[in-house]
A and B are shown apart, each in its own frame.
Chain A
Amino acid sequence: MNTGRIMAIFEKDLKEFTRNMMLFTTILLPIFLAFMYSRMGDGEAALPAMLVYLIVGVAFSAILCSGIMTMMAEENEKNTLRGLIQSPASMMDILIGKSLVVTLMTAASLTAAFLLMNAALEWSVASIGALLLLALFFLNVGIAVGLTVDSVATTSVYLLPIMFIFGFTPMVEIVVPEPDHFVRQITDYLPLYQNIAIHDGETVVPLLILAAWTLASFLYVTWAFRKRMSDEAK
């Protein structure tokens, strides 16, 4: 790893991100949702944790995960990744540089969204730690898919299920209102619900489940990374 090379890739990808309307407009999505939800009801009441985390889920899936996935896929599709790999930059330099860009964009979007909505949530160490684990989960999934797909069009095949299952998880309560339904039983174990549970006061079990999801995402990204490297060598 080399800081100078990571920063060179970061600068390049920041320019690419801001000039790619498909990516750049994703940062508006959480802001738009925050604006909408903050005007629900009388507009004075604090937003429930479920809606706040829905916005977090949208930000992480639509910007963090989708952003890095699309950037990697575009590099593959346009053969620019090969140029980077043939340079002194390592794959880690490339991935870290890109991750910094999507993290910055997600943070900017979420900050704006939080300023717009009346979240009134208390941020404990556990909830902040859980938020970081959740971010890592989405980032890893985005990198893993980005490493394995060859075109931007293919990313949508992966992105839609990721967004609906992991990003918009609380929406299941609208589609399946019965709390005892098996779908609800399953979704209780999905990552975003662990963050909500931690906010509701539980700590150990949700943190363990979330850590397991993050670990699984690390294993997925490691597999994708090795597969990519072995494909490159064939």
Chain B
Amino acid sequence: MKSVISVEGLKKQFDNEEALKDISFEVGKGEIFGLLGPSGSGKTTTIKILTGELEPSGGLVEVLGYQHGAFKKSEYVRSLGILSDNSSLYERLTVKDNLALFRKLYNTEQSKVDQVLKDVGLEKHINKRVKDLSKGMKQRILLCKAVLHEPAVLFLDEPTSALDPVTTDSIHDMLLKIKARGTTIMLTTHNMDEATVLCDTVAFLNEGIIIDNGSPDALRQSYKTNDMHITYDDGRTKQISLSPENKVQLEAALFDTNVVNMKSDYPTLGEVFKKVTGKELV
């Protein structure tokens, strides 16, 4: 599969700080790629470079066949949708006015606006002023704004940060619909459940370096162990390796009424991240 996004040896230096040290990854057409990492790891910097907001200090960056020198070109800008953590709307204007502005700037038909509003379930709020909407509604309108021109690539920086679970689910549903239309999506998130549900591939970014990448399932598989973790009602824990010589111990634990929890060591993405970096994803 030909890559839509190709990053090789990307570096970014801010004065004395090296935000990105040497990162490489590829994203195929129609994939959802998640860049995961703690605050300050370089996620937003990477997105800003890919969207042409920042110049890289080194390395090769190519999106949709355009190299970073061409990221200011109008045709490139037109093929992107961007939802960043500080995207905002015109609060005094209505939802309709806000979307009408971007519909005209992208020279898109009104039917597309109607469709995206319907997709996020906000078609009844079109005449409301943005300042009267909830945070979750505003985020959904921002997503509408980012996709109403049907971009080939959608960049999302923390799209569901600080949103309630219902709004988060609604945004996930919409992203999966957008992916089904063939749009390539690159997102950054702290939310491991979000990455597991949405992403085909994820990369762990820590201190400007990609430590590991792969599909969420493959990463979890590669960091799992053969251990069984047992917790007793008095708080004691025990780790037993799943091997034939431990069969008796394991069977005893199964029938021990003092055992309150037994679980295999199949880590979540967050646990995998902690294993490889020693850091929590916050």
Contact = CB atoms under 8 A, between A and B. Distances in A.
Given A15-B93, A87-B102, A234-B54, A78 B78 contact: no
Nearest to B103: A8
Contacts of B97: 12, 15
B107 interface: yes
B53 A232 contact: yes
Given A5-B104, A86-B77, A86-B82, A233 B55 contact: yes
A143 to B, nearest CB: 20
B66 interface: no
Given A12-B93, A16-B92, A83-B145, A88 B84 contact: no
A88 B104 CA distance: 10
Interface of A is mostly: helix
Interface residues of B, number: 28
B54 A233 contact: yes
Contacts of B88: 78-80, 83
B151 to A, nearest CB: 11
B105 A20 contact: no
A83 B92 CA distance: 16
A232 B54 CA distance: 7
A157 to B, nearest CB: 24
A9 interface: yes
A16 B100 CA distance: 14
A82 B97 CA distance: 18
B104 A4 contact: yes
Interface residues of A, number: 24
Interface in A71-88: 78-80, 82-84, 86-88
Contact of A8 (B51, B74, B80, B101): B101
Contacts of A11: 100-101, 104
Given A88-B74, A232-B53, A78 B102 contact: no
A19 B106 contact: no
Best-surrounded residue of A5, A9, A12, A87 (most CB of chain B within 10 A): A87
B145 A8 contact: no
Contacts of A4: 104, 107
A87 B77 contact: yes
Interface of A: 4-5, 7-9, 11-12, 15-16, 19-20, 78-80, 82-84, 86-89, 232-234
Interface of B: 14, 51, 53-55, 74, 77-78, 80, 82, 84, 86-93, 97, 100-102, 104-107, 145
